[in-house]
Amino acid sequence: MISKKILYKALEDERSKTSFFLFILIVLNIIGLLLESISSLREAYGLFFIVFELISIFIFLIEYFARFFVSGMIHQKYQSLVGKIRFFFTPLMLLDMLSILTTFSGFDLRVLRMIRILRLYRYSIGIKTMIHIAKEKKREFASVFSILLLAMLIFATCLYHLEHTQQPEAFSSIPAAMWWAIATLTTVGYGDLTPITPLGKIFGAITSVLGILMFALPTAIISSSFLPYYHSLLKEKKKLKEKRKKKITVKKIATKRNNNKGKKITTKRNNKKQ
């Protein structure tokens, strides 16, 4: 039987062989989902995709129940029966269960299988950093989003009044003009709605320039927080490695001492007998 400590280290240690194997399996599942969408490959290798999916789900189920088994080692609050039920409803466990249920459901939920890409959160420092920034800077992101929404409403209203008389079908209402405002502020510019009046073109150019400046705000928020937190995570990992190395060296020294003591005792006994 595998002990809880060994199983816990295999699942929670990002540098373990088990974690690396699960990471590769998730990536292969995502690649398989992409390739399966190609009709020619699906017709030729349909059986292979089904078998690979079933094997993957079987491995994910084992991992799911293994994590549930070692939940008490993650935190003390998950040691009791009520704690284990609470652990069942944690976001990552619910995500794991949802990624498994998409296969067993009777509906065609291949799109939802893409949820498995979110499971890379366990193994990616970059994803962990981005989620931490989103939580830490939620007020800043909310203020930027509100400014963007306000700008979209203002630009859509102004362009509706400038272009409605010349293009009554394209700019039929302010909500219809909002599609143009979104595409322009995000610097996408699909081209399905374009201003034709001189004032409309000037206003459109100003909106495009302001759109670039608008998206510089969230970029500045992310960049100011990303590197410090990322480096702090790397430092924590280095400290854990050093602690583990020290423990291993201490154990080696202790075993050597015990062996030397045992040898001395046996030699003394042999000398007494002689």
pLDDT of 227 strictly over 70: yes
Beta carbons within 8 Å of 233's beta carbon, 6+ residues apart: 125, 128, 129
- Least confident piece of the model among 29-33, 44-48, 111-115, 218-222: 111-115
Q: How confident is the model at residue 190 (pLDDT cuts 50, 70, 90)?
A: low
pLDDT for 245 beyond 80: no
> What does the radius of gyration of the chain's CA atoms come to, in whole angstroms?
29
Which of the two residues, 122 and 223, has the higher pLDDT score?
223
CA–CA dist 38, 17 (Å, integer): 32
How do the domains of the chain map onto residue ranges? Answer: 4-123, 138-245
Decide if 122 contacts 139 (C-beta within 8 A). no
* Cα separation values, 235 from 15, 225, 229, 240, 244, Å: 15, 16, 10, 9, 14
Each residue's pLDDT tens digit, 18-51: 888 888 888 888 888 888 888 888 888 889 988 9
Give the global pTM.
Answer: 0.59
pLDDT higher than threshold 70 for residue 249: no
Residue 18: per-residue pLDDT: 83
Between residues 94 and 189, the one the model is more confident about: 94
Identity of the amino acid at 228: P
Ranking 39-48, 53-62, 120-129, 177-186 by mean pLDDT, the lowest is 120-129
Longest C-alpha distance within the chain, in Å? Answer: 118
Distance, CA of 92 to CA of 75 (rounded, Å): 15
pLDDT in tens, 250-264: 565 666 666 555 555
- 3: pLDDT strictly greater than 70: yes
pLDDT tens for 62-80 read 888 888 888 877 777 777 8
pLDDT of residue 68: 82
Q: What is the mean pLDDT of the chain?
A: 77
**Per-residue model confidence (pLDDT) at position 29:** 84
- pLDDT digits 0-9 by tens, 130-182: 777 888 888 888 888 888 888 888 888 988 888 888 888 888 888 888 888 88
Angle, in degrees to the nearest 10, between helices 17-36 and 46-69: 150
Cβ-contact 175, 155 below 8 angstroms? no
CATH of 4-123 given 3.30.465.10, 2.40.40.20, 1.20.1050.10, 1.20.120.350: 1.20.120.350
Q: What pLDDT band is residue 203 in, cutting at 50, 70 and 90?
A: confident
Give the residue ranges of DSSP H helices in 137-197: 138-163, 174-185
- Residue 2 scores a pLDDT above 70: no
Triad 83, 85, 90: Cα angle to 5°: 90
Q: Is-same-fold flag (4-123; 138-245)?
A: no
**Which of the pair, 191 or 68, is modelled with greater confidence?**
68
Domain 138-245 CATH assignment equals 1.10.287.70: yes
Structure tokens at 200: 């409309």
How many beta carbons lie within 10 A of that of residue 116, not counting itself? Answer: 22
